């Protein structure tokens, strides 16, 4: 198959095209949720629910995504565009786009193809719709000493992520509408990775934002152990400040309502509420751009806790009171 990478004339030593980080076009700290890939109708339902959540009406109007490709990709159609753009436009939901980058160049080539399709179909809306593009999610963690035993799938290298970031930026340049100067491109990983000199030093100078995933639950910390989260956030923020003040966004955090107990980390609705108040309300909302994990998900299973704040994608009444200070 003719490679998109070849077709736009990019070598693997492509310059990264960024000497100073690009600020998101959306003013103020963002609040939203993470969303798995689904259909246009389901995205529209979920975005509407998020916007109407009781106690925080209108406050959560952004969506973080993991891929540009819709479910159902095939050999005949390897890069169908994720049906998220029209629902986002209809519901005034901003998007933190994601490109999956732990499956090799051929798979990433499909992500790039879908990005080009999105620019072609919805490019005029990108200015107000897209707050950033994340190249990868926890790819370095999955190949790290701590991440490999978790067996959460393939990861990738710093060099590949830097190269992929360059490819994304080149597509934005080629589009010709100036998105290379207005849409920040970054990477999402765990706080431990952003503190690793071999990763942080090489990657932070490349990105326009640092996406931080932080889950005290997976560190066997209780829901009321504020330091288990804030210490990691502070450490990454300090590292970012030493690298020129690259913005730090919290791209995933939350506490499960059900699932396996991990020492002091006990999943329950009550503990999910404590974490929302202690971390979300007191540390993040209105201060740091944040995408909570997650609006709704399936029931808990062994090794797979449930983090959803609602019990159904259509339910605007969360399992606990979302109003800060409650």
Q: How high does pLDDT run on average in the chain?
A: 90
For residues 269-305, b (16+ Cβ closer than 10 Å) or e, as one string? eebbbbbbbbbbbebbbeebbbbbbbbbbeebeeeeb
Q: Which CATH class is domain 4-18+27-292?
A: alpha beta
Q: What is the pLDDT of residues 82-117, one digit of tens each?
A: 999 999 999 999 999 999 999 999 999 999 999 999
Lowest mean pLDDT segment, chosen from 20-34, 200-214, 267-281, 297-311: 20-34
Of 252, 289, 291, 294, the catalytic one is: 252
Distance from C-alpha of 280 to C-alpha of 282, rounded to nearest angstrom: 6
pLDDT at 4: 40
Q: What is the pLDDT of residues 132-159, one digit of tens each?
A: 999 999 999 887 656 555 656 677 799 9
pLDDT at 151: 58
Lowest mean pLDDT segment, chosen from 9-13, 191-195, 205-209, 243-247: 9-13
More confident residue, 201 or 163: 163
Q: Is the pLDDT of residue 244 over 80?
A: yes
Prediction pTM value: 0.92
pLDDT at 119: 98
Please name the residue ranges forming H helices in the chain. 4-7, 40-51, 85-91, 105-129, 139-142, 158-175, 191-194, 197-203, 226-242, 269-275
More confident residue, 100 or 23: 100
Q: What is the pLDDT of residues 42-67, one digit of tens each?
A: 999 999 999 999 999 999 999 999 99
Of 60, 61, 63, 138, the catalytic one is: 138
Q: Is the pLDDT of residue 321 over 80?
A: yes
Q: Is the pLDDT of residue 19 over 60?
A: no
- Catalytic residue list contains 57: no
C-alpha distances (whole Å) from 43 to each of 22, 61, 202, 212 are 28, 12, 36, 24
Q: Is the pLDDT of residue 241 over 50?
A: yes
- Annotated domain spans of the chain: 4-18+27-292
- Catalytic residue list contains 252: yes
């Amino acid at each position: 198959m003719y490679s998109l990478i070849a077709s736009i004339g990019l070598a693997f030593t492509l310059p990264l095209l960024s000497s100073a980080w690009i600020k998101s076009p959306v003013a103020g700290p963002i609040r939203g949720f993470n969303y798995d890939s689904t259909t246009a109708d389901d995205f529209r339902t979920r975005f509407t629910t998020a916007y109407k959540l009781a106690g925080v009406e209108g406050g959560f109007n952004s969506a973080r995504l993991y891929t540009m490709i819709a479910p159902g990709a095939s050999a005949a159609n390897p890069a169908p565009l994720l049906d998220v753009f029209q629902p986002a436009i209809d519901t005034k939901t901003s998007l933190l786009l994601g490109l999956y980058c732990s499956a090799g160049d051929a798979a990433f080539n499909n992500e790039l193809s879908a990005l080009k399709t999105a620019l072609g179909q919805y490019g005029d809306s990108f200015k107000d719709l897209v707050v950033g593009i994340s190249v990868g999610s926890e790819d370095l963690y999955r190949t790290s000493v701590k991440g490999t035993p978790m067996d959460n799938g393939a990861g990738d290298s710093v060099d590949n992520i830097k190269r992929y970031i360059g490819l994304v930026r080149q597509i934005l340049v080629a589009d010709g509408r100036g998105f290379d100067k207005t849409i920040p491109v970054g990477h999402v990983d765990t706080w431990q990775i952003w503190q690793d000199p071999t990763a942080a030093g090489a990657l932070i100078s490349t990105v326009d934002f640092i996406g931080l995933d932080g889950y005290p639950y997976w560190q066997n910390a209780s829901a009321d152990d504020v330091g288990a989260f804030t210490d990691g956030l502070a450490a990454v923020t300090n590292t970012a400040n030493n690298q020129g003040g690259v913005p730090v966004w919290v791209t995933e955090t939350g506490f499960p309502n059900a699932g396996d107990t991990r020492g002091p980390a006990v999943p329950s609705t009550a503990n999910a509420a404590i974490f929302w108040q202690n971390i979300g309300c007191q540390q993040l909302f209105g201060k740091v751009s944040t995408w909570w994990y997650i609006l709704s998900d399936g029931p808990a299973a062994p090794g797979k806790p449930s983090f959803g704040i609602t019990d159904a994608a259509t339910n605007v009444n969360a399992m606990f009171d979302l109003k800060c200070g409650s």
